[in-house]
Amino acid sequence: MSDFNEDFVETDRLKRINYLAEKAKSVGLTEEEKKEREKLRKEFLEEFRKNARSQIERICFVDEKGNQTPIKRKK
């Protein structure tokens, strides 16, 4: 997430998720709010996993000779 707009949207999404979580604990949520919360959580987790995977894929092991070996995905 390098783009300012994406960061802003992500911050708003997290604020909304947190608001809905707080409201769920205090007074409860309507069915519409429950659906919104689930949708926002799914979107957030997908983006989080995508970013984590991208960071992990950029990691390389360096041996004594300076050779770089990228991490291989388990099958």
User: If we measure between CA atoms, which residue out of 62, 60, 63 comes closest to residue 71?
Assistant: 60
Where is pLDDT greater, at 17 or 4? 17
7: left (phi over 0), alpha (psi -120 to 50) or beta: alpha
pLDDT of residue 12: 87
pTM of the shown model: 0.68
Domain ranges of the chain: 4-70
pLDDT of residue 1: 43
pLDDT tens for each residue of 14-61: 899 999 999 999 999 999 999 999 999 999 899 889 988 889 989 999
Q: How many CA atoms lie within 13 A of 7 on its CB side?
A: 4
Q: Which CATH architecture has domain 4-70?
A: Orthogonal Bundle (1.10)
Q: Once rounded to an integer, what is the mean pLDDT over residues 53-74?
A: 90
Q: What is the CB neighbour count within 10 angstroms for residue 74?
A: 4
pLDDT of residue 75: 74
